[in-house]
Amino acid sequence: MKKVSYYAACLLAGVTLFACQNGPKEEPIQEVIERGLNRATEQSLLMAKTLESKEGQLPTSIKNDTLTTSNYSWWCSGFFPGVLWYLYENNPSEELKQYAELYTARVEPAKKITYSHDLGFMLNCSFGNGYRLTKNPHYKEVMEEGARSLATRFNPNVGLIRSWDFSKDKWQYPVIIDNMMNLEFLMEMGKMTGDSTYTQMSISHADKTMENHFRPDYSCYHVVSYDTLTAKPHIKQTHQGYADESAWARGQAWALYGYTMMFREAQKPTYLEQAKHIATYLMNHPRMPEDKVPYWDLDDPKIPNVPRDASAAAIMASALIELSKQCPDAFGKQCLDYAEAQIRSLSSPAYLAEPGTNCDFILMHSTGNLPGNSEVDVPLSYADYYYVEALMRLKHEVKE
């Protein structure tokens, strides 16, 4: 009787006896990818329609269960247009293209900004993806002006692009690890315009960051401030992490992505070695959760009772897929397998929002700035962007 009940229980659960004994069969990764892209498309179209009549507005996050937005001047302004361009690339419908063009146009005034290092995020994610897919000559013109604006933040004596202009009583010339992400824009503009100045700036910034931002274990500081006379660091600390010597999760992900990208663009072997060291540090970290979605800071002493950061996992996954292509060996396979596991986690009900929920963002459970009590355990536009980018990269890998 007990045996019959056992079989009946298995059948009622919709599985075979084998599955009951050995666990459910893993969903094919192709199905995970398509499910993620379909959900991303559904949510993003809902978001696009919600904000269509709100002139100049772009999504950022949620506060008090309400959608928060910004205009072009916020560093996150380019991410939602970038999501739409990736989704259009995946499914070239006229509706997706029109919305991608609409929200990209809202970012255009950023091309004149000289007070921010984040023009790469703003313009490359939006206009860069748009130009890649449409070759619209106006998009190129916008990017060229934006690159000239960003280049004004490079100090030849220091050899780096300045990140922030605030807290001048504390920092002489602050450079944050996030700034590695904006180098892709300048590297692309170097190729597009033939102006090697952009390439040289990017390489100088990457070299000096590699020299001064990293600890012996290849974790990195968030902020390094340089003495403008000696061009040497005078402060190394955090601004958004748990402590100056802790491993703020998203910062480590920025570093991994940045050096993987710089190797692809500059083909300097030192960049590949740096990316591999950072990847090894992250993939083998003893406090990485089983689902491979990092805690907001890997050194928070309250782990596991602390927020996760889905954005860090999405950035990591996208970078690891790219890195796997640069390492056609066992290490590359390890990177790809790890990224696939992260994509499976992010595409599960634990992180992937149900249709029409989450204020139409795609992913849940990211952390922006916990010490500042800002954007904690909420969706973030850049989490969505790198998740969709990772899905697209993985889709190409599976096809190949």
Residues classed as catalytic: 118, 178
Q: What residues form DSSP beta bridges with 308?
A: 295
Cβ–Cβ < 8 Å for 367, 377: yes
Residue 68 burial (CB count, 10 A): 16
CB 146 within 8 A of CB 133: no
Residues 260, 273: Cα–Cα separation, whole Å:
9
Comparing C-alpha atoms, which of 324, 380, 346, 272 is closest to residue 32? 346
Q: Find out whether 172 and 234 touch, Cβ atoms under 8 Å.
A: yes
Integer angstrom CA distances of residue 7 from 23, 176, 185:
15, 58, 59
Taking the C-alpha atoms of residue 40 and residue 363, their distance in angstroms, rounded to an integer, is 9
Alpha helices in the chain (DSSP H): 2-12, 17-22, 29-51, 79-90, 94-105, 119, 129-134, 137-151, 183-193, 196-212, 249-266, 269-283, 310-326, 330-346, 381-399
